[in-house]
Structure formats: structure tokens, C-alpha cells
Chain A
Amino acid sequence: MKKILVRKNAYYDSVFLMLASKAIKQHPGIKEAAVVMGTDVNLELLKGIGLFSGEAASAKPNDLVIALEGETPEALEEACRIAEETLKKKSQRGGEEEAYRPVSLEGALKIIPEANLVIISVPGLYAAREARGALHKGLHVMLFSDHVSVEDEVDLKERATEKGLLMMGPDCGTAIINGKPLCFANVVRRGAIGLAAASGSGLQEVTCCIDRMGGGISQALGTGGRDLQEPRLRGRMMLMGIEALKHDPETRVIVVLSKPPAEESAATVLSRLEQTGKPCVVHFLGLKPMERRGAVWFSGNMEETAAMAVALSRGETCGRSNSFAPDKDLLERAEAEAGHMSRSQRYLRGLFAGGTLALEALSLFEQEGFKIRSNMAKEPGQALQSPHRSEGNTLLDLGDDVFTLGKPHPMIDPSLREERIAQEAADPETALLLMDVVLGYGAHEDPCGPLAESVSKAKAWMAERGGYLSVVASITGTDSDFQNKAEQKKKLESVGCLVMPSNYQAALQAVHIMKQVVQRWM
């Protein structure tokens, strides 16, 4: 059953055509759809693939042709309605007068001359140049862009240090300055805990855990992921962040968060923390926590980091938490989940939107003796042959360039993860899906809505084959985020997803389930 729409003299930009095409193709009951300009060769091709009818014969090269093949007349009608609506919206928008948007830093400064911080998000090739310009003007910089060379980063941070300016980034996605959330930050209560972190999603997770535990944030500074890892950078921005937090009167406790740092940078950071005179909590992801050094405590995971910082901010005793000891109910739940699975279901599939959240889960599984393949793996033996196909236990950072080039980040658009969930559900060896959901400014308006739908379908497919798909997740966010964590949680739980209070606890519960799975087929 076919339907052809022709729009005369239609001038649309390519990105819009792609979005229209995607919207139509996603409609249930649509088997095939082509959105093309009505050139002779395109029309000939539509004929060749059977997507041609009388209406298309009148099309000219500047006409837009939407050719649809559907299962039912209703599906075709609905797809046509979507197409018409999308095109109408576009033509209405085209005529609108937009508010003035400055296109350069100079233009923006004319509107807000008192601004002292600039967020830069341009292609990596131009990012360093823009950041230099901003530093030259005496502005603090939050550099959201990635793909900036280490050489440029060293140069930018040297310039910033000389001028006493913050140079957060590159690839810095989250910060909270004087209570103002920037980029992908969450709505958290203000308080006495100041953070400096070389990790965006890590910063979100710790600040949200602090909020959940009743603590509050004074400042949260991002440094860029390489600041402590790359020896040439010598942790410059982390040191500057610590210095800023030391002098910030609101900050009574300092938290430092980073992926495993270079040895020399770590030593400098720890020594600088000891000199602040304030209690500090340090978490180096994937590293075993060290013994306390004076007023500097070390934590074993991100949730524990939050718990220690909150305790210190209240003047309470701070120690390693034992709240992660196996809980009887959760162990029973793990056993029950594994018990429903079929014999072919053997493997974990971790699908993460946040890089640091993925790394925390990966580290825990490795500590527990699981061999995990991942697109984050540093050892060649753990790398995937293709990130687009899981092998054995697989844990993915779906925010990696390999998945997001030309597509929105999975925190912004859940469709990338939805596709992967469907792919994993089709694999009879998939036993458990482990996922994160990140809320906050910049993130999708209802991430758990479409995710719940995908999980529900995936569980149904697995059940049809006589299996059971276990799904464990955590939500990084707060009830004050515009998406509302409690509402989001309900959506996931309604489809049988086990939602844990933190990323660490979700990973831990996944470990318990996978241990049961392993025992079953040993």
C-alpha cells in the first residue's frame, strides 16, 4: 500500500529533511519511506523500488517527494499527517522573527558587558582559538568543546593560570558556580561542600548523591578529563580549583574527583589539599582508596564520596561506609532474577550515557573478577572488535565519539540507546541490562519515558523466547530537576526495572545477579 506526497518548490535544509524522514520512518506500520527531491533520477529510482504512483509523475526537480509504503491505510494516513505537520511547522518557523542572538564573543559582551565567564561550545578545531580570545579579555572559560589538543590545553591553562582565571575543560560538561548550574548540571541545594572534578557525569552523580543525603553544594568546578591524567598539564586547573575552594567562605569541605591521575599530579594535589586547612574527600576512580592523610579522606566509590563529604560538612565522624554490604533482600532478588533466565542467557550488557558512570561500573565488575569487554578498555584483550556488536560481558559508554558523531549525545536523545537495547534483546545470550539515566539541564525532557518503552519491548521479546531479561538502572538527578527523579523512577519501575539509589549500587546489584547467572551455568 503506497502513498506519495509532493510539495511544490520546496526548499528545505538537509538536516530538516533528515529529521522529517526519521519521524515518518519511526511511525508504526510504515514499511518504507523515502524523502527526496523530485529529480528525474530519483523518480526513476523510486519507480525501480516500487515507490511510485501517479502523484510522483508531476514532480519536478525542486519539488519535495515523500514516498511511503505502509501496512494499513490508517498507518499511511497518520504518516502523511506527521509529514504535513512537520513541514508546516518548518514553514511557520521560517517566517518567524527570531530574537537577536550574538554570533561572536564581542557581540555577546556588548549585550552583557559585566559577564566574567564564557561557555564555549564550537567545533574542536576552533575551540582553542576562541578560548584564547576569551582569556585575553580577562574572562573565566568553561570549554564544553572536545577534540582540543593537549598542546593547546597546556597553553590555555598556562595563560589562565598567569591571569588567575579558571579554564574549565576542554570537554567540561558540568559546573555549578555560585549556585548557578552550567551546561549538564542538576538542581541541587546549596550548602558547604565544594567540588573540583575532572569528570562531568561523575560531578553530577556526586552532587546528586550529596543532595539526596541532605547536604548541599557551594561550588562545583570542572577541570576537563585530562587535567590530572596528562603529566604535561600537571593538574593545573585542579590546583587552581582547590585554591579557589580554599578561599571560598561558603565551602567548608572540599571534594576532589578524577579518573586515575598521573603519579606526580596526584602527589601535588594531595599536598595542596592538606594545606587548605579544610577537611577533604578524594576519590580517584578505579583506584583502591588510600589511608587517611591528616584531614584528607579517601573514598572507594562516588556515593561513598558524597556520604563522607556530607558527614564532614556536619562535623560528624567520617569513615569508610559499610552500607554496601550485601543486603539479604537484594541478594534474594538477584537470585530470583537469575532464576527466571533461560540457559542461553549468560552475559551482562551495560549501556551507559555517562562516561564516568560507565567507568565506575566497569571497575567494580573487574574488581569482582568479571572479564568485561568495553569501548573504554585500555588493554587490547578487552577491546571489542566492533563497538557496534557486543561480545560476552560488554559494557559501553554510548557517549563515546564512535557512537555520537553526527548524532545527539544519549543524554540528550535516548534513541541511540533504544536501538542498542533492541539489538541486545535480540541476542539470546543477553542476561542483564545495566543502565544509567542522567537528568538535569541539557538532558532529555523525559529520558525514562522512551527508555521504559524500549525495556518493556525488550523484556517481551525475551519472554517470547522463553527467557527473562533482567534490567538494573540508576538515575543521576534530583526531584528538583525539571524531569523530576521520582516521576522518572516510577516509569522505569512500572516495566519491571530495578532502580537503585546510585550508580554504584546499581552496578553492585548487577554484580550480584551476574554471580548468580555464572553459578547457574557452571
Chain B
Amino acid sequence: MTQARLDRSPEEQVFPTLVGVLVPLLTGRGTAVSVYSSAVNVLHNQGLLVSFVEETRAMTTLSVCVPALFRNPKKRLAPGDWVRFEGIRLVTADFEVLLQGRPNWQGTLMGKHVKGWSESKVSLLKEALLKKGKDGGFLGLLRREKTDNPFVEKAREGLRHKALSSLVGLGPGSTPSGDDFITGVLLGEETLRLLPAEEPKAVAGNQKTVIPSRLEKKTLWAALSRTNDAGKTLLWQALQAHFPAYLIEMLQSVSDAERPEEVAMAVESSVRCGETSGTDALTGFLLFMEGRL
């Protein structure tokens, strides 16, 4: 087995600009499974994907933002390379990423992110999403008419039976659309939790029917094994109320928006995420906020 050298020179040490708060909790080994121009995914032995990313906007609580990794050809990972998780650092054969003392990315929703939220934002968000959202995933759920997309119809059937967990692993995309959708639903739940007491009903209609119960969350936890690593990683975080940076950014931008165009811009920016991930997550969020789940 390849061992890391202990005598690292300063040139072999990398300092991240931001560390996902859950990364230092992982120990053990991982293997680089996919390498893109601005992200590297490492599959940890617990079945979670930990990502090295170039930009803070791509942060999740299981990411480490290390721009240097993408600028220096000597500090590159290739598929199959090993990474050791040691809590305070991530060690590879050629370099180590020092996590200790670096700023953390919490990925949690806070009051400041939703303070400007109001009922009118739901309809503005919906209007913008219908206009700007990408088809191919679950956007069809937002429209009431039947579609010729079998994944959408299957999801619709699951939602009709109030079985959110039946959407786990369902749909196209490297992160199945269903997992993105559920993440959006959980983001909606967290949003309602943070709104002042008198606000939620005004926003979501009938609160009792819309918030997934603890029991449903248990079912979701149990269903994680039914999806792939990318979906599992996303849901594993969302079930602990940790969300990707782009979704939190979208929510704050919509909350702070004073004009419909600003809402549209926030949606436009979110739907650029993945092929349909952004659209699917916003669809879940919206259906939840409309009280249609």
C-alpha cells in the first residue's frame, strides 16, 4: 500500500481557502473517482463524495475549496489516486491539504438568509422558475398537466401518496433529480422553521400538511442506500440541515430582492448549477412552500 511521506516540504503543503465543516469529521481513506476542470471528487470509504473545488460557490459541507489545486499542475489528482483523511489534514501521495485553523463553511441556513422572505416571493420565484428552469428533470412537477416524461409521472405518483422517500434515486442526472428535489423540500422546511412565528402559514398555506414529519425523515435516512454516491452525499447533508452554497445564496438573494428582476436573476444563477440540479432543487423548494406536498 502506498504510504504518505511524513517529511512534507512547504511546497508540498496546500492551504484551502474554505473547509466544509463535516470534512474534518471524516477519517479513513478515499479514492479520487472523477476529475473535472474545477472539481475533483473523492469517494470516502463511508460512501460519501468529498470534493475539492475551485470556487466557493461550489461549496458544500463535504467540500474543500483549494484554488491552488487547479492552478498548479504539480498538485493534481487523477482518477484512482488515494487520499487519506486525518481530521486536521488530507494527505495524498504528492501533497497534503492542511485543514486546521482554516475558515469553515457551515452550509446552514440562518435567519439573515430569510429575513426578507414574504408570501409574494413564492409566486415570483415560481414565475421565474417556469420561465428560466431547465427541462429534462422534475420541472414538469410544477406544471399541473401530465407530461410525457416517465420520471416526472413516477415522481408525481409518489408525491400523491405522500411518499417523498419514493423519489430517492429517481430520475436522470449524475445526482438523480429526485435527490435534488428532496434537498429543495428540506430547504423549504428549514426556511419555514427560521421564519418568524406568524409568517409560515402566510407563506405555505397549511403548515401541518407540508412539513415532512420526523417519521418521513427516518424513511429518508433509510432510503439513502437506494441512490448513488452523489445523491447519497447530497441527501446525507440536507437531512442534517446542511445545504449547498448555491441554494443558500439563491434563498438569500430572493429574500433580499426588491424587484421581480432580482428574483429572476437569482433563479437564473441557481438553474445554471448542474444540468437540472438547480432546477430540480428549486422545484422541490417551491412545491413545499406552496403547500402542495
Contact = CB atoms under 8 A, between A and B. Distances in A.
B271 A9 contact: no
Contact of B36 (A13, A97, A123): A13
Interface stretch (A80-88, A99-107, A166-174): A99-107
A464 interface: no
Contact of B265 (A17, A37, A124): A124
B67 interface: yes
A264 to B, nearest CB: 25
Interface in B1-54: 33-38, 41, 54
Nearest to A124: B265
B174 A13 contact: yes
B154 A103 contact: no
B131 interface: yes
Contacts of A320: none
A18 B172 CA distance: 9
Contacts of A91: 79
Contacts of A17: 172-174, 275
Given A36-B171, A45-B154, A147-B265, A11 B226 contact: no
Contacts of B274: 13-15
A103 B71 contact: yes
Interface string B180-193: 00000000000000
B207 interface: no
B276 interface: yes
Contact of A100 (B38, B73, B172): B73
B229 A40 contact: no
Contacts of B169: 37, 39-42, 61
Given A39-B228, A405-B132, A45 B151 contact: yes
A107 B71 contact: yes
Interface string B203-233: 0000000000000000000000011111100
A97 B34 contact: no
B188 to A, nearest CB: 22
A125 B228 contact: no
B96 interface: no
Given A37-B176, A100-B71, A103-B54, A406 B134 contact: yes
A110 B4 CA distance: 33
A100 B76 CA distance: 12
A12 B174 contact: yes
A49 B38 CA distance: 37
A367 interface: no
9 contacts: A13-B34, A13-B36, A17-B173, A61-B227, A61-B228, A61-B229, A61-B231, A94-B79, A103-B54
Given A12-B174, A124-B268, 14 more contacts: A11-B229, A14-B173, A14-B174, A15-B274, A17-B275, A37-B231, A38-B228, A62-B228, A95-B79, A98-B37, A103-B54, A103-B55, A125-B265, A406-B271
| 6 closest residue pairs by CB, A with B | A39-B169, A14-B275, A11-B34, A61-B228, A41-B170, A14-B274
Interface of A: 9, 11-15, 17-18, 21, 34-42, 45, 48-49, 61-62, 91, 94-95, 97-98, 100-103, 107, 123-125, 147, 149, 402, 405-406
